[in-house]
Structure 1
Amino acid sequence: MHFITGGAYNGKAKWVKNFYQLDGKCQWFSAYKGDALPVKLSLQNSDIVVFEGIEYWLKKEMFKSEIDHVRKEWMQFINGWNSSYNVNIILIGTDITKGIVPLNDTDRQWRDLTGWVYQDIVRNANRVDTIWYGLNQRLK
């Protein structure tokens, strides 16, 4: 599993496409485009599956369940994807944990949940990169 994070509009998706030389032979799920998070994958001749917009899926789930439950559920997804499929899982999430702490309680909870889930992802990832202005820095 490969986790890519960085600021909004800093070129994370473009970097992934270039790094993996993706030419349409992958499955790409994007919360930014309104795609639902697939709990079970249906692989169609692809050995790479990309999940883009982790923070948006987390926010959506946060309104359905308690934060602790959402975090545990995400770890079940990640562990299930890693153990059930022989594919390269790529997770892309915008770093929303820096800057001014939101005044709104819901936004603060979203920020906290995102930070905790990203920590869980990093702990389980084989590789981690941060992308700033189109340039990567490998963290793990």
Structure 2
Amino acid sequence: MHFIIGGAFNGKRAWVKNTYSEYENKHWVSAYDNHPLPINLIEFGQDVVILEGVEIWLKDLTVKFDASKCRDIWDNCLEKWLTWEQAAFHRQLIVIGTDITKGIVPVEVENRLWRDVTGWAYQDIAAKSTKVDVIWYGLNQTIK
């Protein structure tokens, strides 16, 4: 799994498109296009799957569940995704998330919950990823 993180409108999508341009058969799933949180990646029928907008899927979870349940659901997703990726040598999962965990702590309880859950989820993704890149202004810095 390759985790791509960076600020909003910092070129993450363009960087991923350029970096993974040699892969013709890839499936792009975006929360920004109102795609639901995917659980079973095999249904896409592609060897490369790109998941974009992780923070949006996490926000949807925080609207319905408490922090503990959100983390359980997220951990289950990560395990299923990793199982899919590791089932075939040529599979690649790319996960893109916007960093919402910096700056002023939100006053609203629901936004603090979203920020906290997103921070925990990003730690989990980074820990389980084989590669992590931070994108700022279209430039990457590999941190893992």
Aligned to 2:134: 130
- TM-score by length of structure 1 reads 0.94
Deviant stretches of 4+, over 6 Å: none
Q: Could you tell me how far apart the structure 2 residues matched to 1:109 and 1:38 are?
A: 22
Gaps of 5+ in 1: none
Q: CA deviation at 1:43?
A: 3.2
Alignment of 1:1-140 (within 5 A): 1-21=1-21, 24-41=24-41, 42-44=43-45, 46-85=46-85, 86=88, 87-140=91-144
Gaps of 5+ in 2: none
Q: Could you tell me how far apart the structure 1 residues matched to 2:50 and 2:106 are?
A: 29
**Paired residues, what number?**
139
> Of Structure 1 and Structure 2, which has the larger fraction of its residues in helix?
2
Tell me: CA distance 1:48–1:109, structure 2 relative to 1, closer, same or farther (3 Å): same
Q: CA deviation at 1:89?
A: 0.8
Q: CA deviation at 1:24?
A: 5.0
Q: Could you tell me how far apart the structure 2 residues matched to 1:131 and 1:84 are?
A: 26
Q: Could you tell me how far apart the structure 2 residues matched to 1:8 and 1:24 are?
A: 26
Q: Could you tell me how far apart the structure 2 residues matched to 1:75 and 1:116 are?
A: 10
- TM-score by length of structure 2 reads 0.91
